[in-house]
Amino acid sequence: MAASVNLGGYFALGSNIDATGTLSWNGNAGFTPIGDQGAPFIGTFDGLGHTISSLTINLPTTTYVGLFGAAGTGSSILNVGLVGVSVIGASTVGGLAGSTTGSVSGSYTTGSVSVPAQSAD
């Protein structure tokens, strides 16, 4: 996704996206989150009422995990639905965004978001 290269850009979905194929990306880790704590997404992402279905992210040792790992101040995420997601991260984990200090509106997530149990050594 071009948003991972241009963290301050404006992006809009032109149609629904079936992200089933992300399951096998990156050595079965799935989709790489857009932005992180050190370089957050600061642009605008408008889903225009469309959905992204079956997104998979499997990063059990990574923090700031979601479609957007981190969205910073001034960012805007709107009008998008995530349907049937499977997101796993170490902490600061969400379906749409692991963390955001920006604006989110008209958006929703269904599916599974989890953090693996930590073993007590």
Q: Which residue has the higher pLDDT, 38 or 1?
A: 38
**Domain residue ranges in the chain:** 2-114
Q: What is the mean pLDDT of the chain?
A: 93
Q: CB atoms < 10 A from the CB of 103, how many?
A: 13
pLDDT tens-digit readout, 14-71: 999 999 999 999 999 999 999 999 999 999 999 999 999 999 999 999 999 999 999 9
Residue 119 has pLDDT above 90, yes or no: no
Give the burial string for 1-14 (b: 16+ CB within 10 Å, else e).
Answer: eebeeebeeebebe
